[in-house]
Structure 1
Amino acid sequence: MPATSVPLPLRALPADDLLGDLLAVSMTGVIYYTPIYDPAGSGEIVDFRFEYLNPTAQRMMSMPEVPTVTHNEQWPHSIAHGTFAFHVDAYVSGEPREYNINYQADGYDNYYRLAARRSGDGLWVSFTDTADQPRSPVEVALRESQAREKAARAEAEIQRQRFYEVLMQLPAHVAVHEGPEQVFTFVNPGYQRIANGRDLLGQPIRTVWPELAGHGILDILERVYQTGETFSAAGMPVQADFTRTGQLEQVYYDFFFLALRDAQGQVTGVLNFSYDVSSAVRARQQVEQLNQELETRVQERTAALQESESRFRIMADAAPNQVWAVNPDSTIRYANQAFLDFVGVSLEQYVATGWSAYLPAEELELAQATLETAIRTRTLYVLEHRMRRHDGQYRWLLAQGAPSFYANGELYGYVGSAIDITELKQANEQLRRTNVDLDNFIYTASHDLKQPIANIEGLLHAVQHELPPQCRVGEVPHMLELMQAAIERFGRTIGHLTEISRLQQEHNQPASHVLLAQVVHEVELDLAPLVARTGARVEARIPADVTLNFSEKNLRSVVYNLLSNALKYHRPNQVPQVSITYTLLEAYHVLAVQDEGLGLDVAQDREKIFGMFQRLHPHVEGSGVGLYMVKKIVENAGGRIEVESTLNQGATFRVYFPR
Structure 2
Amino acid sequence: MPDSASASIPAELRDAFPLGDLLEGLLDTSLQGVALYSPVRAASGEIVDFTIDYFNPTAQRMLQQPARPAGTYLEYYPHTVATGVFAFHREAFESDAPTRMDINYQGDGLDNYFRLSARRVGRGLLVSFSDTAHHTRTAVELALRESQARERAALAEAERQRAALHETFMQAPAMICIFAGPEHVFELANPLYQQLVGNRPLLGRPVREAMPELAGQPIFGLLDEVYRTGQTFRANEMLIQLDHANAGNSELENRYYNFSYQARYDTSGAIDGIIVFAFEVTPQVQARQQLATTERQSAELNEELAAANEELQAANEEIRSSNDDLFRAQLRLNELNQELEVRVADRTARLLRAQTDAERQRARLERFFMQAPAAICILDGPELVYELVNPGYQALFPGRQLLGRPILAALPEIEGHEVHRTLQRVFETGLTNEENGILIPIARPEDGVLEDRYFNYIQQARYDETGRIDGVLVFAFEVTEQVQARRRADALQAATLEASKQLVQQRETLYQVFEQTPASVAILRGPEHRFDYVNPGYQALFPGRPLLGRPLAEALPETVDFGFLGLLDQVYTTGEAFFGTELPLQVRDTAGNLLPEVYFTFTYQAYHDGGAVVGVSIFAFDVTEQVLARQQAAVLQEEMQQRDAQLQALFEQAPVAIAVLRGPELVVELANPGMCAIWGHTLEEVLGKPLMDGMFELRGQGFDLLLQDVLTTGQAYVAQGQAVELPRHGRLETVYANFVYQPLRDSNGQITGIAAVATDVSEQVAARQLLARANEEMTAAHLAVSARNQELAQANLQLTRTNQDLDNFVYAASHDLKQPVNNLAGLFEELRRSTVFQDPEEKDLLEPMVEDALRQLGTTIDDLAVVGQVQRLPELAAETVLMDELTQEVLQTLQPQVQAARARITTDFSARPTLSYARANLRTIVLNLLSNSLKYADPARRCRVHLSMWVQEDRPVLMVEDNGLGFDVQRHRGELFHLFRRFHDHTEGTGVGLYLVNRIVQSNGGHVEVESEVGEGTTFRVYL
Map of 1:380 onto structure 2? 579
- Higher alpha-carbon Rg: 2
Which residue does 2:529 correspond to in 1?
331
The residue that corresponds to 2:454 in the other structure is none
Partner of 1:601: none
Aligned residue identity for 1:418: A
Counterpart contact for 2:226–2:262, Cα < 8 Å: yes
1:101 paired residue among 98, 104, 113: 104
Q: Which has the higher contact order (CA 8 A, sep 6+)?
A: 1
* C-alpha separation in 2, matches of 1:540 and 1:229: 63
CA displacement 1:569-614 (0-9 Å, x = unmatched):
xxxxxx9xx9xxxxxxxxxxxxxxxxxxxxxxxxxxxxxxxxxxxx
Q: Given the alignment, which residue of 538, 547, 551 partners 1:350?
A: 547
Tell me the residue number matched to 1:368: 564
Amino acid at match of 2:547: Y
Structure 1 residues 93, 219: closer, same or farther in 2, change over 3 A?
Answer: farther
Give the structure-2-normalised TM-score: 0.38
Secondary structure of 1:352's match? coil
Residue 522 of structure 2 contacts residue 538 of structure 2 at CA under 8 Å; is this kept in 1? no
2:279 is aligned, of 268, 275, 282, to 275
Displacement of 1:116 in angstroms is 0.5
Note closer, same or farther for the CA distance 1:398–1:52 as it changes in structure 2 (3 Å cut): same
Q: Superposed, which structure 2 residues align to 1:63-212 within 5 Å?
A: 63-67=65-69, 69-88=71-90, 92=95, 94-95=97-98, 97-105=100-108, 108-118=109-119, 121=122, 123-129=125-131, 139-212=141-214
Amino acid paired to 2:106: Y
SS at match of 1:30: strand
Q: Which residue of 206, 225, 228 maps to 2:227?
A: 225
Letter in 1 for 2:579: L
Q: Give the fraction of aligned pairs with identical amino acids, expressed as a percent.
A: 31
Question: Does structure 2 retain, via aligned residues, the 8 Å contact 1:240–1:249?
Answer: yes
Cα 1:541/1:229, change in 2 over 3 Å: farther
Separation (CA, whole Å) in 2 of partners of 1:526 and 1:435: 24
Quick check: 1:273–1:319 contact (8 Å CA) kept in 2? yes
C-alpha deviation, 1:80, in angstroms: 0.8
**1:399 maps to which residue?**
600
**Given the alignment of the two structures, is residue 320 of structure 1 paired with residue 518 of structure 2, yes or no?**
yes
CA apart distance, 1:77: 1.5
* 1:138-166 deviation line (CA, Å, top 9, x unaligned): 55544444444444444444333332232
Task: State which drifts further: 206-215 or 25-34.
Answer: 25-34
State whether residues 284 and 292 of structure 1, in contact with CA within 8 Å, keep that contact through their aligned partners in structure 2: no
What is the CA distance between 1:313 and its match in structure 2? 2.8
Letter of the 2:220 partner, please give it: L
Match of 1:418 in 2: 620
Gaps of 5+ in 2: 1-11, 320-502, 644-815, 835-855, 867-889, 904-927, 932-1024
Shift of 1:322: 1.0
TM-score by length of 1: 0.57
- How far off is 1:210 after superposition? 1.6
Structure 1 SS opposite 2:201: coil
* CA distance in 2 between partners of 1:235 and 1:82 (Å): 62
Structure 2 residue identity aligned to 1:281 = V
Change (3 A) 1:388 1:97: farther
Aligned-residue offset at 1:26:
1.6
Partner amino acid, structure 2, of 1:100 = I
Q: 1:483 to 1:403 in 2, by over 3 A?
A: same
- Please give the alpha-carbon distance, in whole angstroms, between the structure 2 residues aligned to 1:62 and 1:315: 53
Residue 540 of structure 1 aligns to a residue whose secondary structure is helix
What SS does the aligned partner of 1:214 have?
coil
1:502-513 to structure 2, matched below 5 A, reads none
Question: Is 2:48 the partner of 1:20?
Answer: no
Question: In 2, Cα distance between the equivalents of 1:61 and 1:113?
Answer: 12
Which residue number corresponds to residue 436 of structure 2? Answer: none
Tell me the distance in 1 between the aligned counterparts of 2:599 and 2:568: 17
SS at match of 2:186: strand
Separation in 1, partners of 2:563, 2:195: 30
Name the CA distance, whole Å, in 2 between partners of 1:97 and 1:487.
112
The equivalent residue for 1:263 is 267
Structure-1 separation of matches of 2:258 and 2:168: 19
Separation of aligned partners in 2, 1:404 and 1:369: 14
Q: Secondary structure at the match of 1:258?
A: strand
Distance 1:369 1:66 in 2: 64
Change (3 A) 1:170 1:344: same
Residue 217 of structure 1, CA deviation: 0.4
What corresponds to 1:540 in structure 2?
A: 897
Counterpart Cα distance in 1 of 2:537 and 2:623: 14
Does the CA-based 8 Å contact 1:53-1:65 persist in structure 2? yes
Q: In 1, are the aligned partners of 2:41 and 2:49 still within 8 Å (CA)?
A: yes
CA contact (8 A) 1:90 1:117 kept: yes
Residues 105 and 113 in structure 2, CA contact (< 8 A), matched pair in contact too: yes
| Higher mean C-alpha deviation, range 316-325 or range 481-490 | 481-490
Indicate how the Cα distance of structure 1 residues 435 and 85 shifts in structure 2: closer, same or farther if over 3 A, else same: closer
Aligned-pair CA distance for 1:191: 1.3
- Cα pair 2:36 2:55 within 8 Å, conserved: yes
Is the Cα–Cα contact under 8 Å of residues 58 and 64 in structure 1 kept in the other structure? Answer: yes
Question: Which residue of 2 is the match for residue 446 of structure 1?
Answer: none
Task: Name the Cα RMSD after superposition.
Answer: 5.2
What pairs up with 1:490-505 in 2 under 5 angstroms?
Answer: none
Contact 1:47 1:70 (8 Å CA) reproduced: yes
Q: Structure 1: which amino acid aligns with 2:580? A: Y
Q: In structure 1, what residue type is equivalent to 2:240?
A: V
Aligned mates of 1:480, 1:189 — CA distance in 2: 67
**TM-aligned CA deviation for residue 239 of structure 1:** 2.7
Query: Structure 1 198/428 Cα, relative in aligned 2: closer, same or farther at 3 Å?
Result: closer
**2: CA distance, partners of 1:378 / 1:201:** 27
Cα distance in 2, alignment partners of residues 283 and 319 from structure 1: 23
Stretch moving more, 300-309 or 269-278: 300-309
Q: Which amino acid aligns with 1:18?
A: L
Q: CA deviation at 1:63?
A: 4.0
**Residues 137, 390 of structure 1: CA spacing in aligned structure 2 closer, same or farther, 3 A cutoff?**
farther
Cα 1:392–1:194 shift into 2, 3 Å: farther
Quick check: which one's helix share is greater? 2
Q: Which amino acid aligns with 2:275?
A: L
* Inter-partner Cα distance in structure 2 for 1:206 and 1:68: 61
Alignment length (residue pairs): 465
Q: Which moved more, 1:244-253 or 1:282-291?
A: 282-291
Call closer, same or farther: CA 1:166–1:544 in 2, change over 3 Å.
farther
Partner amino acid for 1:242?
A: H
Q: Distance in 2 between matches of 1:389 and 1:194?
A: 38
1:234 aligns with 2:433: no
Letter in 1 for 2:263: A
- Give the match's secondary structure for 1:350: coil
Q: What is the CA–CA distance in structure 1 between the aligned matches of 2:240 and 2:113, rounded to whole Å?
A: 66
Give 1:272 deviation, angstroms: 1.6
Specify whether residues 81 and 482 from structure 1 end up closer, same or farther in structure 2 by C-alpha distance, changes over 3 A only.
closer
Residue 414 of structure 1: CA displacement?
A: 5.3
Aligned AA (1:111): N
Q: CA deviation at 1:276?
A: 1.4
